[in-house]
Amino acid sequence: MKSLPNTLSIDIGGTGVKLIVLDAKGSPLCDREREETPHPATPESIFRVIEELTHKVPEFDRIAVGFPGVIRDGIVETAANLDVHWVGVNLASQLEQCFGKPVRVANDADVQGFGCISGKGLEMVITLGTGMGSALFVNGVLVPNLELAHHQLKKGMTYEDYVGRYALESVGKKKWTKRVQNIIENTKLVWNWDLLHLGGGNAKLLKDVELPDTVRLHSNKSGVMGGFVLWQDV
Protein backbone atom coordinates (compact mmCIF):
# COMPACT_ATOMS: atom_id res chain seq x y z
CA MET A 1 0.00 0.00 0.00
CA LYS A 2 1.33 3.43 -0.97
CA SER A 3 2.29 5.63 1.98
CA LEU A 4 0.70 9.03 2.37
CA PRO A 5 2.82 11.95 1.13
CA ASN A 6 5.12 14.09 3.24
CA THR A 7 5.48 17.77 2.27
CA LEU A 8 8.70 19.76 2.37
CA SER A 9 7.54 23.29 3.16
CA ILE A 10 10.06 26.06 2.41
CA ASP A 11 9.88 29.72 3.44
CA ILE A 12 12.33 31.92 1.51
CA GLY A 13 12.87 35.26 3.22
CA GLY A 14 15.12 38.25 2.92
CA THR A 15 16.72 37.42 6.27
CA GLY A 16 16.39 33.65 6.57
CA VAL A 17 15.59 30.49 4.60
CA LYS A 18 13.45 28.10 6.63
CA LEU A 19 12.04 24.65 5.95
CA ILE A 20 10.22 21.79 7.65
CA VAL A 21 8.73 18.43 6.64
CA LEU A 22 5.03 17.93 7.34
CA ASP A 23 3.15 14.63 7.36
CA ALA A 24 -0.05 13.84 5.46
CA LYS A 25 -2.11 15.67 8.11
CA GLY A 26 0.08 18.77 8.12
CA SER A 27 1.84 17.96 11.40
CA PRO A 28 5.60 18.53 11.65
CA LEU A 29 7.88 15.52 11.42
CA CYS A 30 10.93 17.47 12.58
CA ASP A 31 12.06 20.80 13.97
CA ARG A 32 12.16 23.74 11.62
CA GLU A 33 15.61 24.21 10.05
CA ARG A 34 16.93 27.68 9.26
CA GLU A 35 19.92 29.35 7.66
CA GLU A 36 20.68 33.02 7.12
CA THR A 37 19.78 34.23 3.64
CA PRO A 38 23.02 34.50 1.66
CA HIS A 39 24.10 37.80 0.12
CA PRO A 40 23.81 38.35 -2.70
CA ALA A 41 20.56 36.38 -2.52
CA THR A 42 20.75 35.00 -6.07
CA PRO A 43 18.73 31.98 -7.21
CA GLU A 44 21.87 29.85 -7.22
CA SER A 45 22.86 30.77 -3.65
CA ILE A 46 19.33 30.23 -2.31
CA PHE A 47 19.08 26.85 -4.06
CA ARG A 48 22.35 25.80 -2.41
CA VAL A 49 21.04 26.71 1.04
CA ILE A 50 17.80 24.77 0.43
CA GLU A 51 19.72 21.71 -0.73
CA GLU A 52 21.99 21.83 2.34
CA LEU A 53 19.02 22.14 4.71
CA THR A 54 17.19 19.18 3.15
CA HIS A 55 20.00 16.90 4.39
CA LYS A 56 18.85 17.69 7.96
CA VAL A 57 15.17 16.70 7.58
CA PRO A 58 13.19 13.50 6.85
CA GLU A 59 12.39 12.33 3.33
CA PHE A 60 9.58 14.07 1.48
CA ASP A 61 7.36 13.46 -1.54
CA ARG A 62 6.38 16.96 -2.63
CA ILE A 63 7.41 20.58 -2.05
CA ALA A 64 5.59 23.79 -1.13
CA VAL A 65 7.36 27.15 -1.26
CA GLY A 66 6.57 30.62 0.06
CA PHE A 67 8.50 33.30 -1.84
CA PRO A 68 8.77 37.06 -1.03
CA GLY A 69 7.35 38.43 -4.27
CA VAL A 70 4.64 38.05 -6.88
CA ILE A 71 4.39 34.50 -8.23
CA ARG A 72 2.43 33.57 -11.33
CA ASP A 73 2.26 29.96 -12.53
CA GLY A 74 5.39 29.17 -10.52
CA ILE A 75 7.37 32.01 -12.12
CA VAL A 76 8.86 34.87 -10.09
CA GLU A 77 7.65 38.31 -11.21
CA THR A 78 9.07 40.44 -8.37
CA ALA A 79 11.74 39.91 -5.70
CA ALA A 80 12.30 43.31 -4.06
CA ASN A 81 14.16 41.97 -1.02
CA LEU A 82 16.33 39.37 -2.73
CA ASP A 83 18.21 39.76 -6.02
CA VAL A 84 17.20 41.12 -9.42
CA HIS A 85 18.19 37.84 -11.09
CA TRP A 86 15.11 36.18 -9.57
CA VAL A 87 12.75 37.97 -11.95
CA GLY A 88 11.64 35.54 -14.64
CA VAL A 89 12.92 32.45 -12.83
CA ASN A 90 10.57 29.46 -12.95
CA LEU A 91 11.04 28.58 -9.31
CA ALA A 92 8.67 25.63 -9.39
CA SER A 93 10.34 24.07 -12.44
CA GLN A 94 13.88 24.55 -11.15
CA LEU A 95 13.13 22.96 -7.79
CA GLU A 96 11.39 20.08 -9.53
CA GLN A 97 14.52 19.48 -11.58
CA CYS A 98 16.73 19.73 -8.48
CA PHE A 99 14.77 17.30 -6.28
CA GLY A 100 12.70 15.26 -8.72
CA LYS A 101 9.55 16.09 -6.71
CA PRO A 102 6.40 18.05 -7.66
CA VAL A 103 6.49 21.69 -6.49
CA ARG A 104 3.91 24.38 -5.78
CA VAL A 105 4.92 27.99 -5.15
CA ALA A 106 3.03 31.01 -3.79
CA ASN A 107 3.76 34.40 -2.27
CA ASP A 108 5.15 34.01 1.24
CA ALA A 109 2.42 36.10 2.90
CA ASP A 110 -0.19 33.99 1.11
CA VAL A 111 1.41 30.83 2.51
CA GLN A 112 1.68 32.39 5.97
CA GLY A 113 -2.02 33.18 5.77
CA PHE A 114 -2.91 29.60 4.94
CA GLY A 115 -1.13 28.65 8.15
CA CYS A 116 -3.06 31.00 10.44
CA ILE A 117 -6.44 32.17 9.06
CA SER A 118 -9.76 31.04 10.53
CA GLY A 119 -11.43 30.66 7.13
CA LYS A 120 -14.37 32.89 8.06
CA GLY A 121 -15.11 36.39 6.81
CA LEU A 122 -12.62 38.89 5.42
CA GLU A 123 -9.14 38.28 6.81
CA MET A 124 -5.97 40.22 6.09
CA VAL A 125 -2.45 38.98 6.72
CA ILE A 126 0.53 41.30 7.17
CA THR A 127 4.02 39.91 7.62
CA LEU A 128 6.67 42.05 9.27
CA GLY A 129 10.18 41.02 8.34
CA THR A 130 12.87 42.26 5.99
CA GLY A 131 10.03 43.86 4.06
CA MET A 132 6.28 43.78 4.55
CA GLY A 133 4.11 41.06 3.06
CA SER A 134 0.35 41.14 2.67
CA ALA A 135 -2.47 38.77 1.80
CA LEU A 136 -6.25 38.86 1.73
CA PHE A 137 -8.69 35.98 2.21
CA VAL A 138 -12.47 35.87 1.81
CA ASN A 139 -14.01 32.93 3.69
CA GLY A 140 -10.69 31.13 3.37
CA VAL A 141 -10.30 31.81 -0.36
CA LEU A 142 -7.15 33.70 -1.31
CA VAL A 143 -7.26 36.95 -3.28
CA PRO A 144 -3.86 36.50 -5.01
CA ASN A 145 -0.96 38.91 -5.50
CA LEU A 146 -1.94 41.67 -3.09
CA GLU A 147 1.22 43.81 -2.93
CA LEU A 148 0.23 46.38 -0.33
CA ALA A 149 3.87 46.79 0.71
CA HIS A 150 4.74 48.84 -2.37
CA HIS A 151 1.74 51.16 -2.19
CA GLN A 152 2.48 54.78 -1.37
CA LEU A 153 1.59 55.56 2.26
CA LYS A 154 2.88 59.03 3.18
CA LYS A 155 5.57 61.53 2.15
CA GLY A 156 6.78 59.30 -0.66
CA MET A 157 7.16 56.31 1.66
CA THR A 158 5.65 52.93 0.89
CA TYR A 159 4.21 50.64 3.55
CA GLU A 160 7.43 48.63 3.36
CA ASP A 161 9.55 51.75 3.83
CA TYR A 162 7.41 52.56 6.86
CA VAL A 163 7.59 49.26 8.78
CA GLY A 164 10.21 47.07 7.11
CA ARG A 165 13.38 45.95 8.86
CA TYR A 166 15.34 49.03 7.82
CA ALA A 167 12.67 51.28 9.31
CA LEU A 168 12.84 49.34 12.57
CA GLU A 169 16.62 49.71 12.69
CA SER A 170 16.40 53.40 11.77
CA VAL A 171 13.67 54.69 14.10
CA GLY A 172 13.82 52.15 16.94
CA LYS A 173 11.26 49.76 18.40
CA LYS A 174 9.03 52.35 20.11
CA LYS A 175 8.43 54.48 17.01
CA TRP A 176 8.25 51.40 14.78
CA THR A 177 5.54 49.95 17.03
CA LYS A 178 3.52 53.14 16.66
CA ARG A 179 3.90 52.86 12.90
CA VAL A 180 2.55 49.31 12.97
CA GLN A 181 -0.43 50.53 15.00
CA ASN A 182 -1.02 53.22 12.36
CA ILE A 183 -1.03 50.57 9.64
CA ILE A 184 -3.55 48.51 11.62
CA GLU A 185 -5.84 51.54 11.73
CA ASN A 186 -5.29 52.44 8.07
CA THR A 187 -5.94 48.95 6.72
CA LYS A 188 -9.06 48.62 8.84
CA LEU A 189 -10.45 51.85 7.36
CA VAL A 190 -9.72 50.78 3.78
CA TRP A 191 -10.33 47.01 3.81
CA ASN A 192 -12.81 46.61 6.70
CA TRP A 193 -11.28 43.25 7.58
CA ASP A 194 -12.88 41.07 10.24
CA LEU A 195 -9.53 39.74 11.46
CA LEU A 196 -5.98 40.96 10.90
CA HIS A 197 -3.17 38.45 11.31
CA LEU A 198 0.34 39.76 12.02
CA GLY A 199 3.23 37.42 11.35
CA GLY A 200 6.82 37.44 10.17
CA GLY A 201 10.05 37.58 12.14
CA ASN A 202 9.42 41.00 13.70
CA ALA A 203 5.86 40.31 14.87
CA LYS A 204 7.34 38.97 18.12
CA LEU A 205 8.29 42.55 19.02
CA LEU A 206 4.56 43.26 19.47
CA LYS A 207 3.82 40.53 22.01
CA ASP A 208 3.64 43.01 24.91
CA VAL A 209 1.78 45.67 22.91
CA GLU A 210 -1.93 46.21 23.48
CA LEU A 211 -3.63 45.40 20.17
CA PRO A 212 -7.31 45.37 19.14
CA ASP A 213 -9.24 42.16 19.84
CA THR A 214 -9.54 41.64 16.08
CA VAL A 215 -5.75 41.44 15.63
CA ARG A 216 -3.91 38.15 16.06
CA LEU A 217 -0.15 37.65 16.46
CA HIS A 218 1.47 34.56 14.94
CA SER A 219 4.93 33.07 15.15
CA ASN A 220 7.16 32.96 12.10
CA LYS A 221 6.56 29.20 12.02
CA SER A 222 3.25 29.83 10.21
CA GLY A 223 5.32 30.62 7.13
CA VAL A 224 6.30 26.97 6.77
CA MET A 225 3.22 25.34 8.30
CA GLY A 226 0.97 26.97 5.69
CA GLY A 227 2.80 25.22 2.86
CA PHE A 228 0.77 22.10 3.52
CA VAL A 229 -2.40 23.89 2.40
CA LEU A 230 -0.99 24.43 -1.10
CA TRP A 231 -1.45 20.68 -1.60
CA GLN A 232 -4.83 20.19 0.11
CA ASP A 233 -6.73 19.73 -3.15
CA VAL A 234 -4.74 16.57 -3.96
* 198 shares a domain with 213: yes
* 72 shares a domain with 31: yes
Domain span at residue 157 reads 118-217
* 62 shares a domain with 97: yes
Answer whether residue 220 shows pLDDT above 90. no
Gyration radius of the chain's alpha carbons: 17
30: domain CATH number is: 3.30.420.40
pLDDT of residue 225: 83
In a domain, 30, yes or no: yes
Percent of the chain with pLDDT over 90: 87
pLDDT tens digits along 142-168? 998 888 999 998 888 999 999 999 999
Domains in the chain, number: 2
With vertex at residue 71, the alpha carbon angle to CA 88 and CA 168, rounded to the nearest 5 degrees, is 105
* 137 shares a domain with 104: no
* 86 shares a domain with 38: yes
Answer whether residue 140 shows pLDDT above 60. yes
* 105 shares a domain with 26: yes
pLDDT tens digits along 24-83? 999 999 999 999 999 999 999 999 999 999 999 999 999 999 999 999 999 999 998 999
* 139 shares a domain with 76: no
Question: What pLDDT band is residue 234 in, cutting at 50, 70 and 90?
Answer: low
With vertex at residue 19, the alpha carbon angle to CA 195 and CA 217, rounded to the nearest 5 degrees, is 20
